[in-house]
Chains A and B, each alone.
Chain A
Amino acid sequence: MRISRRQALRTIGGAAGLAALPGCTVVEGEPPDSTQGLSKKAAPGRRTTITFYSLFGGVDGQGWVDLATRFEAVQDEIGVEVVYAPTTGQGEQQKLLVSIAAGDPPDLAMVIPFQVPQWAELGIMTDLTDLARGAGLTERDFLPAVWQGMRWKDRVWQLQWDVDPNFPFYWNKQLFAECGLDPGRPPRTITEVDELSAEITQVGRQGASRVGTVPWQVAGFANAAFTWGFAFGGTFVDPETGQVTPDDEHVVAAVDWMAGYARSLGGADRLNVAPPTLQMNPFGYGAMGMAALGPRSVKQILEARPDFSYGSTLLPYQPPGADRPGAGTWIGGWGAFIPSEAKHPEAAWEFLRWFAATPEGTLAEFETVNYPPGYLKSPAMERMRSDGILRPSYDAMLAATNIKPSLPETNYFSQQLEIHVARAVYGEVSAREAMRVVKENTRREAERFKNQMGL
């Protein structure tokens, strides 16, 4: 019997349909919040339910769900709904911004401390000064740089729950020994970094196959400018006028040093020191002698190479602008704030204060989300001090006195530094010219923002 093509297709289609039918069923109940465990509903039966936007994915995001659950366990009045609201690009919180624009923000959300002046001036944030005062929170409760980042115009706008000291300085002991250097003696100054680099660096026809360090690979060119600019003793803001000063002579010297270092490697784009996976930090691959790193990068390196032999110290400095190791360290991290149109500000404050400024809450945050707190009375501080991987961050954290410039135009300033510091490092312009352009553009932008906001 011959079967036509149409009959064959019809038979196959029919059979597939019949096979699929038993799979059809009425789904009851609500779909799960998230298959990744990054969101959660509030515990039932609470007097007040607050909404919290969590912007972290992976284990960090799951940590926030755990942290909110712990908060619900230590009291029975407030339920916390965690909504996963990831960032894009350079940390833009689109979901949060849209919810604020629509007049329906969450009760609690995240903020990068240097964004506080801009967001406070825009009227997005609730002034927490009275709440903080009522809770007895003072300058003495926080690291100095953290207290500085929580405030704008003498008011408190956010509580910083995560402290990211940028950066402890690491060196590869094995590579030091291979290069005939003393593996027990790290550099203290930038001049010493240069001297050690001269012994380590190997540049061939294809570019650098071994380097002392890569100064501009510090979480972007803008962050590199802040890190080494502070390490040279530079300042980025004139305290009198509140205007940016990227053309400060020490900042220019720092950018000039990075540009010179790139030239010594045959160009910033001629580096062949990355690991083949392109995921692990290049320092862990073994072809880089020294690096300014965060603890997470170190943890990742040790997961891949448990036998990696390294040492850590405070960030080298450069006299005469700076006078001690660690002088360049600055504090980054995350804070949390209550949007000005939040429906339950008091309940949101209770949760915020618990995880950012109480001993038990900060410890719970450290155990779940696992970020270092900025609250000095936190038991997590002692845990960091006694942890091999976190100890360098702990030391750097205590040494840090700087923060990124806290100005309404800091986002724009950072973006300008990202472009023009890179231009200097790639040899397109001189460091001085690059910083002049950054200053000119940023000051123009600041003027525009002030006019726009009627400040």
Chain B
Amino acid sequence: MRSRKRRRDLMWGLVFTSPAIIGLLWFTAYPVLASLYYSFTSYTMVGPPKWIGWANYADLLTDQVWWSSLWNTVYIVVWSVPLGIVAALGLALLLNMGVGGRSVYRTVFYLPTIVPAVASAVLWMYIFDPQYGLLNDALAKVGVAGPGWLSDPGWAKPALIVMSAWGVGNLMVIMLAGLQEVPATLQEQASTDGAGVLSRFRHVTLPYVSPHMLFALVTGLIGGFQFFTPVFVMTGGTGNPAGSTLVSGLYLYQNAFQYFKVGYASAIAWMLFALVAAITVATFRLVGRRVYYGGR
């Protein structure tokens, strides 16, 4: 009797979730598996794919543009992810201090997150303009001659890193939630025991927000390797100047839609996936054990 009811519940459950299941299978699982298959083929979008085994992956090993794009990506990730975490934690700490008008500040800091990526990329192009941009104008006021930013191969990647800190609103909210979990009694006890501000931060606050920092680190790494929209908008899909912003995601796009090498582009996608997966596992192994889960 009970098993009949359970079977019926299961059936209706599947019926009601079927749109989502079908959507996932058709629009996510199928393309993912298809791209894995294409990565072993020579495929131009026109005509049938031709099986070539590991040739695309072997080509990648000797493709200088791929290595250069990977270097650009790693450079941006290595700088922007820690910068984002520090900036988000810093803002969250400020908002957690109990100052008046906190909700206003929270809204202001969160606002950039809801600005569409394309709009913020265009906005930053104006901010980075070497001659009239806000940034160089501010630097000039303190006597610093600003660089060419997006028009200088040496400064284009740092410019993108600076820009990435603009969207830390999401992380800030997560960090803030973490900070609010820190038991006030612990802070008081530490204070009574003579711990200073830095010591309390190091030994009480930081352990409690460490799971949130791990989350930020892992999602930041995954997102960083998919960096695409700002570069695409700011450079018109070229990765200029001098290829200094040609990130792996953009090189993948160029191969698929400019050079018709869909198989090769799929191989790039899977190489990136393998890299991100390996880095994520390594991160969990190296950093995960240092995370404090409230004694659990």
Q: Chain A interface (Cβ within 8 Å of chain B)? A: 88-90, 92, 94, 97, 100-101, 118, 122-124, 205-206, 220-221, 267-272, 274, 276, 278, 411-412, 415, 418-420, 422-423, 425-426, 428, 437, 441, 445, 448, 452-453
B242 CB within 8 Å of chain A:
yes
- Report which of B44, B47, B147, B238 forms a contact with A90, defined as CB distance below 8 A: B238
Distance between Cα atoms of A24 and B254 in the complex (Å): 46
Distance between Cα atoms of A89 and B254 in the complex (Å): 9
- Report which of B46, B148, B155, B239 forms a contact with A419, defined as CB distance below 8 A: B239
A-B residue pairs in contact (CB < 8 Å), sample of 22: A89-B236, A92-B237, A97-B257, A100-B45, A122-B46, A122-B47, A123-B46, A267-B148, A269-B241, A270-B148, A271-B131, A272-B131, A274-B129, A415-B258, A419-B242, A419-B243, A419-B246, A423-B153, A423-B242, A425-B242, A426-B241, A452-B44
Contact A90 B64 (CB under 8 A): no
Number of A-B residue pairs having CB atoms within 8 Å of each other in the complex? 101
Contact B259 A101 (CB under 8 A): no
Contact B242 A411 (CB under 8 A): no
Interface residues of B in 43-84 (CB under 8 A from A): 44-47, 50, 59, 64-65
Q: Chain B interface (Cβ within 8 Å of chain A)? A: 42, 44-47, 50, 59, 64-65, 126, 129-132, 145, 147-148, 151-153, 155, 232, 236-243, 246, 253-254, 257-261
Distance between Cα atoms of A89 and B118 in the complex (Å): 13
Distance between Cα atoms of A123 and B47 in the complex (Å): 8
Q: Please give the distance in Å from A202's CB to the nearest CB on chain B.
A: 15
Q: Please give the distance in Å from B71's CB to the nearest CB on chain A.
A: 13
- Report which of B59, B132, B239 forms a contact with A274, defined as CB distance below 8 A: B132
Q: Please give the distance in Å from A376's CB to the nearest CB on chain B.
A: 32
- Report which of A90, A100, A441 forms a contact with B258, defined as CB distance below 8 A: A90
Distance between Cα atoms of A100 and B145 in the complex (Å): 51
Instruction: Give the chain A neighbours of B145 by CB distance below 8 A.
Output: 205-206
Contact B46 A124 (CB under 8 A): yes
Q: Please give the distance in Å from A96's CB to the nearest CB on chain B.
A: 11
Contact A101 B238 (CB under 8 A): no
Closest chain B residue, CB of each to CB of A425: B242
> Contacts A205-B145, A422-B243, A428-B242: A118 and B237 contacting too (C-beta < 8 A)?
no
Instruction: Give the chain A neighbours of B246 by CB distance below 8 A.
Output: 419
Instruction: Give the chain A neighbours of B257 by CB distance below 8 A.
Output: 88-89, 92, 94, 97
Closest chain A residue, CB of each to CB of B253: A89
Contact B242 A415 (CB under 8 A): no
Contact A422 B237 (CB under 8 A): no
Distance between Cα atoms of A412 and B255 in the complex (Å): 9
Instruction: Give the chain A neighbours of B59 by CB distance below 8 A.
Output: 448
- Report which of B126, B238, B254 forms a contact with A278, defined as CB distance below 8 A: B126
- Report which of A100, A418, A428, A441 forms a contact with B238, defined as CB distance below 8 A: A418
